[in-house]
Amino acid sequence: MTIDLTRPHRRFNPLTGGWVQVSPQRMGRPWQGEVTEPDPLPPPYDPACYLCPGNARVGGEANPAYDGVYVFANDFPALADEEGGGTGDDPLLRAEASAGVCRVICFSPDHGKSLPRLAPAQIRAVIDCWAEQTAELGQRFQNVQVFENKGAMMGCSNPHPHGQVWATAHLPEEPAAEDAQQRAYFAQAGRSLLRDVAEREAAGERVVEINDDWLAVVPFWAAWPFETLLLPRFAVQRMPDLTGGQRDSLAEVLKALTTRYDNLFGTSFPYSMGWHGAPFTAGSADHWQLHAHFYPPLLRSASVRKFMVGYEMLAEPQRDLTPERAAEMLRSVSGLVHYAD
Ligand code: H2U
Ligand code: ZN
């Protein structure tokens, strides 16, 4: 590299085709803005929680006394499960119908235990559920988006560990951009973009967690302070294609990565995470590689968050903390013992 990465520079995100402004010299600037309270650690059962076993949901329906992973149809779905009609023909006021399905996935009956505090076998059950949902909904919909909003800071409505799945007949913007970028790279290089990234990063300074099958790195082009990219170290296009062994080793990496996140600031680390796999579109998906993104908002403590505002909204994402320093900080805390245990 011929440019000085200790001075202001921009980095390219080959997965989306976007750029990020990196400003390492600003790390020391004083902070006089918002300070929010960390989320308190919740009890194992909350009688007022609409996701706990046996409790009534907002719509009135009661959850069964479930003891593992529990999936239900979202009572307030963002999409309608039937084909609407057509598209408008005004090029300036354009709309198109969108159909889909929204479900909620409770990770475990324990209200107080988020992913890092679940046993590996329980995390494996969550992975199996993600894979089943993807396979089932992929038969009817082009895109299946599995994700988790965690923490009030990310707009999560409830601390009970849960995620969501939204399946849509259309391909939404983020996966569409990744589809185009991976396709172009594959056409030009004859190899998978993310397999090349995984190989390039495996021995490098941005690694946070690694085992024989999986690699978690702060990507070179990360926009969020402690953003990570979770990559398989083998070719795989979609979650249902993972073998039992690959799911077990994924459970290990997920537990270790989320334990590091929580230990970093001694708080239940908020984030939005989710999976991107090949869409269920006709034609070859050879250019695709399955992966997960973690986008946490915290910057300097349990209460100081990064805002994506002025310049980010109007120009492009910007960060002060370098991805290399973020990876070093995540590596410096335990991935084995959670602060609350
Ligand atoms: P969050 O993961 O962002 O907290 O969203 C939780 C989802 O749970 C949200 O989409 C749904 C909301 O519509 N929900 C139900 O389906 N039933 C309920 O009783 C409450 C919340
Ligand atoms: Zn609960």
**What percent of the chain is modeled with pLDDT above 70?**
95
The one catalytic residue in 111, 162, 276, 291 is 162
- Say if residues 222 and 20 touch (Cβ distance below 8 Å): yes
> What's residue 38's pLDDT?
63
164 within ligand 1 shell (Cβ under 6 A): yes
Q: What is the pLDDT of residues 124-167, one digit of tens each?
A: 999 999 999 999 999 999 999 999 999 988 888 899 999 999 99
Beta-carbon contacts of 340 under 8 Å, excluding residues fewer than 6 positions away, are 41, 117, 262
| Per-residue pLDDT tens over the stretch 301-341 | 888 899 999 999 999 999 999 999 999 999 999 999 999 88
Query: Residue 282 — pLDDT band, cuts 50, 70, 90?
Result: confident
The tally of CA atoms less than 13 A away on the side-chain side of residue 2 is: 0
pLDDT of 85 over the 70 cut: no
pLDDT at 26: 81
Q: What is the mean pLDDT of residues 106-134?
A: 97
Atom of ligand 1 nearest to the CA of 73: 16
Answer yes or no: are the C-beta atoms of 185 and 222 closer than 8 Å.
Answer: no
Query: 88: which residues sit within 8 A by CB, 6+ positions away?
Result: 94, 95, 96
Q: Which of 158, 162, 272 to mutate to test the pocket of ligand 1 (most atoms within 8 A of CB)?
A: 158
Alpha carbons 291 and 238: distance in angstroms, whole number: 9
Identify the pLDDT of residue 25: 81
pLDDT of residue 87 exceeding 80: no
Q: Which of 32, 308, 39 is nearest to 161 (CA)?
A: 39
Specify the ligand 1 atom closest to the Cα of 102. Answer: 10
Place of tokens 């590996």: 120
What's the DSSP call for residue 211?
Answer: -
Tell me the C-alpha distance between 38 and 253, whole Å. 25
Ligand 1 pocket, residue 50 CB under 6 Å? yes
pLDDT single digits (tens) 262-279: 999 999 999 999 999 999
Question: What is the average pLDDT score of the chain?
Answer: 93
Q: Please tell me the distance from the alpha carbon of residue 338 to that of residue 267, in angstroms, as a whole number.
A: 10
- Give the pLDDT score at 39: 64
Range from 102-111, 156-165, 185-194 carrying the lowest mean pLDDT:
156-165
The answer on pLDDT for 28 being more than 80 is no
Return d(Cα 205, Cα 49) in angstroms, integer. Answer: 42
Residue 86 has pLDDT above 80, yes or no: no
Q: What per-residue confidence (pLDDT) applies to 303?
A: 87
pLDDT tens digits for range 194-247: 999 999 999 999 999 999 999 999 999 999 999 999 999 999 999 999 999 999
How far apart CA 31 and CA 171 sit, in angstroms, is 40
Residue 121: CB atoms within 10 Å: 10
Q: Select from 209, 133, 211, 198 the least CA-distant residue to 167.
A: 133
* Residue 62 reports pLDDT greater than 90: yes
Ligand 1 atom 6 nearest Cα: 157
